[in-house]
A and B are shown apart, each in its own frame.
Chain A
Amino acid sequence: MSKANPTDRFYSKDHEWVKDNGDGTAIVGITDYAQEMLTDIVFVELPQTGKKVAQGEPVAVVESVKSVSDVYAPVGGEVIGVNSKLENDPSLINQDAFGEGWIVKMRLSNSAELKSLLNVADYEKLIKEEKH
């Protein structure tokens, strides 16, 4: 079954997570619930570092056996790193969505945007609603 959603990060309604590093940067990925819905991920299209995105804009693409989905930036900013391990092994997202399966590292343009996201309790409520 689903892995527990860590309490040290924020969540978007589109099932991305963002972990604030506290130094103006953050790590972004998709949640374990998202990977479960997508099923086996077969390809991840990563952005170029230096790409600037606004909150809610697509920052990467994940392709599963079922579908191709955009990953929306839960916060705006500049991409300063990508998890290039995903190029050879996209299944890292299936195995460890909250850890080894992280997708991009960003420099936040406005850390106040983090406050617009969900905390773990609200996110779990959202998943519960979606399941019904």
Chain B
Amino acid sequence: MKLIFEISKPGRSAANVTASDVPAISIEEAIDKKYLRSDLDLPEVAEIDLVRHYTNLSRRNFGVDLGFYPLGSCTMKYNPKVNENIAATPGFIGLHPYAPDEFAQGNLQLIYEMQKYLSDIFGMAEFTLQPAAGAHGELTGMMMIKKCFEVKGEKRHLVLIPDAAHGTNPASGALCGFDTVTLRSNSDGGVDIEHLKSLMTEDVAALMLTNPNTLGLFERNIEQVAQIIHGKGGLLYGDGANANAFLGKTRPGDLGFDVIQLNLHKTFSTPHGGGGPGSGPVGVSAKLVDYLPVPRIIKNGQDYNWSDNFPHSIGRVRAFYGNFNVVVKAYAYIRSLGSEGLTRVSEMAVLNANYIKEKLKPYFDLPYDRVCMHECVFSGKRQVAEAGVHTTDIAKRLIDFGYHPPTIYFPLIVPEAIMIEPTETESKETLDTFCEAMIAIAREAKENPQRVKDAPLSTPVSRLDEVLAARKPDVVWKKTG
């Protein structure tokens, strides 16, 4: 497919602007010459070229509205369109961010209620909806922990992070000035309690724990973990990335977590990544309420107002009040499912993952063979040993079957990892056909390994040279001739 620069013809235009009654001036008069460039070669195309170009590009895209997308740890679930319809209501999208509180009561009420819902669902004292995305929520949570110990006059400089953690955890800790220490997993895939005891001192500010962890396993000793941390005056930070595995079943607050950050796109079906923006609400236990970002919303009788009057607050972390319209979508999702529906979410997420785990277990190595939560992690070790077929080859071959490949080579503690998260929104029929594809690839890896190594075979571009692309990236188009 040609680039838009390559279909450009000088003088061609997609727009025909009628003559204006404002007198024209030359561009040099309006803009200082030093800012003007003549070497930009902007594409010149007709409307039909433009429409076809981008329509063709979009047809090569893959999304959850097109097919199954079992990208482990990312929770690529289907987002009900009703959320979009509600979020598009003029009262939500038309409100000016500087509108005074009295003109924005409905929106403020929604924010207030959303905070209450999340506090109830997760068992926390209070929530902030300000952070712009999950990793920003992590940073906000760690800033509150830092502030808390500053106010108390305690010098704690370490943060413990399990070896199966998301890469953002150590980054968030480091950005707040903490040194990170890696906590080992035991052979069961959980926290190594003895190692935790040996690391836990009064220098440790917090343990950042994802539960269920990135192996899709629930930390069985969570209450003991919380006791060990709290026993030395530390705080327990929860990465809520995998919250869709326990909605309605357990609450982090009841398990001893002091902070939990959510990713609304994972748990409450708002758009993902480039389709975002994101939203990363953070909930805190009573110990940390004073440090929440401002402004906070307060309810006086029937009125909702912003307040900055919280002297220990870490301050603002985001302009205005976060990505409000994303919050509206998550609010719509919570209201349309209700508490029974949210409980069904986690039941179906866990059931679907276990279904895939059991169906594929005879064909792929399963490093941690126990009941999983919302995702299961296989290893391609057997295929490597038998036929030199690596996990990356299996993933590329899945593209030929019409699937987005699962997450591979993560978590790092599983060699040749294949991390599958079916999510609660997929039917048994979808899971069955996906498993059939995986089984066919496992068979093909034995019988015709070269075919798997050459995959994908049916895509507009075949296997890319990722090594060359990474070592010698060439990302700027230059006009030739």
Choose, from A18-26, A63-71, A103-111, A117-125, the stretch at the interface: A63-71
Contact indicator A69/B412 (Cβ below 8 Å):
yes
Contact indicator A42/B409 (Cβ below 8 Å):
no
Give the A-B pair count, Cβ closer than 8 A: 24
Contact indicator A67/B470 (Cβ below 8 Å):
no
Q: For chain B residues 319-364, which have a beta carbon within 8 Å of chain A?
A: none
Contact indicator B471/A66 (Cβ below 8 Å):
no
Q: Mark B245-288, 1 if CB is under 8 A from A, else 0.
A: 00000000000000000000000000000000000000000000
Total A residues in contact with B, Cβ cutoff 8 Å: 13
Name the CB-closest residue of A to B415.
Answer: A37
Known: A65-B466, A67-B409. Is A42-B392 also a contact (CB below 8 A)? no
Chain A residues near B392 (CB-CB < 8 A):
65-66
Name the CB-closest residue of A to B473.
Answer: A42
Chain B residues near A91 (CB-CB < 8 A):
471
Chain A residues near B470 (CB-CB < 8 A):
40, 42-43, 63, 65
Give Cα A68 to B392, complex, Å: 16
Chain B residues near A42 (CB-CB < 8 A):
467, 470-471
Chain A residues near B167 (CB-CB < 8 A):
68
User: CB of A76 within 8 A of chain B?
Assistant: no
The smallest C-beta distance from B166 to any residue of chain A, in angstroms, reads 13
Contact indicator A67/B415 (Cβ below 8 Å):
no
Give Cα A101 to B17, complex, Å: 61
Name the CB-closest residue of A to B391.
Answer: A66
Chain A residues near B471 (CB-CB < 8 A):
42-43, 90-91
Chain A residues near B467 (CB-CB < 8 A):
40, 42, 65
The smallest C-beta distance from B163 to any residue of chain A, in angstroms, reads 11
Give the interface centre of B167, B392, B410, B470 by most chain A CB atoms within 10 Å.
Answer: B470
Chain A residues near B415 (CB-CB < 8 A):
37, 130
The smallest C-beta distance from B133 to any residue of chain A, in angstroms, reads 21
Give Cα A65 to B467, complex, Å: 6
Q: For chain B residues 449-481, which have a beta carbon within 8 Å of chain A?
A: 466-467, 470-471
Name the CB-closest residue of B to A90.
Answer: B471
Give Cα A66 to B470, complex, Å: 11
Give Cα A65 to B392, complex, Å: 10
The smallest C-beta distance from A66 to any residue of chain B, in angstroms, reads 5
Give Cα A65 to B466, complex, Å: 7
Give Cα A76 to B392, complex, Å: 36
Name the CB-closest residue of B to A57.
Answer: B179
Give the interface centre of B167, B409, B466, B471 by most chain A CB atoms within 10 Å.
Answer: B471
Give Cα A31 to B169, complex, Å: 28
Name the CB-closest residue of B to A94.
Answer: B467
Name the CB-closest residue of A to B412.
Answer: A67
Give Cα A67 to B471, complex, Å: 14
Name the CB-closest residue of A to B390.
Answer: A39
Chain B residues near A130 (CB-CB < 8 A):
415
The smallest C-beta distance from B187 to any residue of chain A, in angstroms, reads 13
Chain B residues near A65 (CB-CB < 8 A):
392, 466-467, 470
Give Cα A65 to B409, complex, Å: 10
The smallest C-beta distance from B148 to any residue of chain A, in angstroms, reads 27
Q: For chain A residues 40-81, which have a beta carbon within 8 Å of chain B?
A: 40, 42-43, 63, 65-69
Chain A residues near B410 (CB-CB < 8 A):
67
Name the CB-closest residue of B to A68.
Answer: B167
Name the CB-closest residue of B to A37.
Answer: B415
Give Cα A66 to B412, complex, Å: 10
Give Cα A40 to B471, complex, Å: 10
The smallest C-beta distance from B160 to any residue of chain A, in angstroms, reads 15
The smallest C-beta distance from A59 to any residue of chain B, in angstroms, reads 15
Give Cα A68 to B409, complex, Å: 11
Give Cα A9 to B471, complex, Å: 30
The smallest C-beta distance from A54 to any residue of chain B, in angstroms, reads 11
Q: Mark B373-395, 1 if CB is under 8 A from A, else 0.
A: 00000000000000000001000
Chain B residues near A90 (CB-CB < 8 A):
471
Give the interface centre of B167, B412, B467 by most chain A CB atoms within 10 Å.
Answer: B467
Q: Mark B403-434, 1 if CB is under 8 A from A, else 0.
A: 00000011010010000000000000000000
Name the CB-closest residue of B to A91.
Answer: B471
The smallest C-beta distance from B260 to any residue of chain A, in angstroms, reads 26
Give Cα A68 to B470, complex, Å: 13
The smallest C-beta distance from B398 to any residue of chain A, in angstroms, reads 17
Give Cα A65 to B167, complex, Å: 16
The smallest C-beta distance from A91 to any residue of chain B, in angstroms, reads 7
Give Cα A119 to B17, complex, Å: 77
User: 20 extra interchain contacts, Cβ-Cβ under 8 A, other than A42-B470, A65-B392?
Assistant: A37-B415, A40-B467, A40-B470, A42-B467, A42-B471, A43-B470, A43-B471, A63-B470, A65-B466, A65-B467, A65-B470, A66-B392, A66-B409, A67-B410, A67-B412, A68-B167, A69-B412, A90-B471, A91-B471, A130-B415
The contact sample of 18 A-B pairs, CB cut-off 8 A, is A37-B415, A40-B466, A40-B467, A40-B470, A42-B467, A42-B470, A42-B471, A43-B470, A63-B470, A65-B392, A65-B470, A66-B392, A66-B409, A67-B409, A68-B167, A69-B412, A90-B471, A130-B415
Chain B contacts to A: CB under 8 angstroms: 167, 392, 409-410, 412, 415, 466-467, 470-471
Complex A-B, nearest 8 residue pairs according to Cβ-Cβ distance, in ascending order? A42-B470, A40-B467, A66-B409, A65-B466, A42-B471, A67-B409, A65-B467, A67-B412
